[in-house]
Amino acid sequence: MALHFNCSPLELDEEQILDYLHVLKSQHKTPSDSFFKHTVYGLRYAYRIFGMKEMHVVLPSIERPKKLPVVLNQREIKQLLKTPKLLKHRLILAMLYGCGLRNFELRNLQCRDLDFDRKMVHVRQGKGRKDRYVPLSEMQIRGLKKYFLAENPTTWCFTGNDKTGSPAQLSSQGIQWIVREARKQSGIPKEITAHILRHTYATHLLEMGLDIMSVKDLLGHADIQTTLIYLHVAQSGRQKPFSPLDRLYGNRDVLSRS
């Protein structure tokens, strides 16, 4: 797993772990059940040793959990994006949602990876040591140009401060802090993390008409099965889901009348 991702397994999120194990299982030479058990138990042991209690890996030999991801609606996204006072923080939220970047992909983003003319972001070594391109919006480009003029970053697009107070690559904890503070100040009651903004990105793309294979490529998933979960969340398809009460009563409100 470390060789596949070219990093420590402790740096991977649950989605990457599950996606990796699912790809192994779907290959022609399927590993034995004991291979999966040893891999998962080894990961659980490592997480426990390093105090990473929030990580929970499901054995791929049994059915995946039915829990669906939390997704923000469009009004909540707009509220969240306008909440931070600092342009840098608004841009970080916009990159997580507008490009569907993972936490580590955002912190590893360099100035050279942004192509404003082509309106693309080059995500390098996102997962499985694979690169991908994702689109940039005009709004993001205007904000990033303004941010670059003010901050003049040289290598990393977004920086924090190290222990000495000098500029350094923004940490994963720093990104999550920005998301938590924005959620707290926005008053949105839903749980919000960097990965939930990625879930929202995928769901909104499907609802706006993008096909599932394109969403898979934009997310950098190795297997379509990982992407299919969003079909259960997105309000899209041949007919948008509705409540039978809307058809039964039309515009008449019989519930809130006095």
Using one digit for the tens of pLDDT, what is the confidence trace for 181-221?
999 999 999 999 999 999 999 999 999 988 999 999 999 98
Are 36 and 70 a contacting pair, CB within 8 Å?
Answer: no
Percent of the residues in the chain that have a pLDDT greater than 90, as a whole number: 46
Same domain (yes/no): 85, 34: no
Are 217 and 17 a contacting pair, CB within 8 Å?
Answer: no
Residue ranges making up the domain that contains 116: 74-232
What is the number of structural domains in the chain? 2
Same domain (yes/no): 12, 95: no
Per-residue pLDDT for 65 more than 60? no
Its pTM stands at: 0.71
Query: Residue 36 CB: number of other CB atoms within 10 A?
Result: 18
Same domain (yes/no): 154, 217: yes
Give catalytic residues, as residue numbers.
102, 127, 195, 198, 221, 230
Pairwise CA distance, residues 82 & 90, whole Å: 7
Q: Band the pLDDT of 63: cuts 50, 70, 90.
A: very low
Report if residue 256 sits inside a domain. Answer: no
Q: Residue 56: its pLDDT value, please?
A: 58
Ramachandran class of 51: left when φ > 0, alpha when ψ lies in -120 to 50, beta otherwise: left
Q: Which long-range contacts (CB under 8 A, 24 or more apart) does 251-256 make?
A: none
Average pLDDT over residues 110-127: 89
Q: Residue 231: its pLDDT value, please?
A: 83
Average pLDDT over residues 42-58: 75
Per-residue pLDDT for 177 more than 90? yes
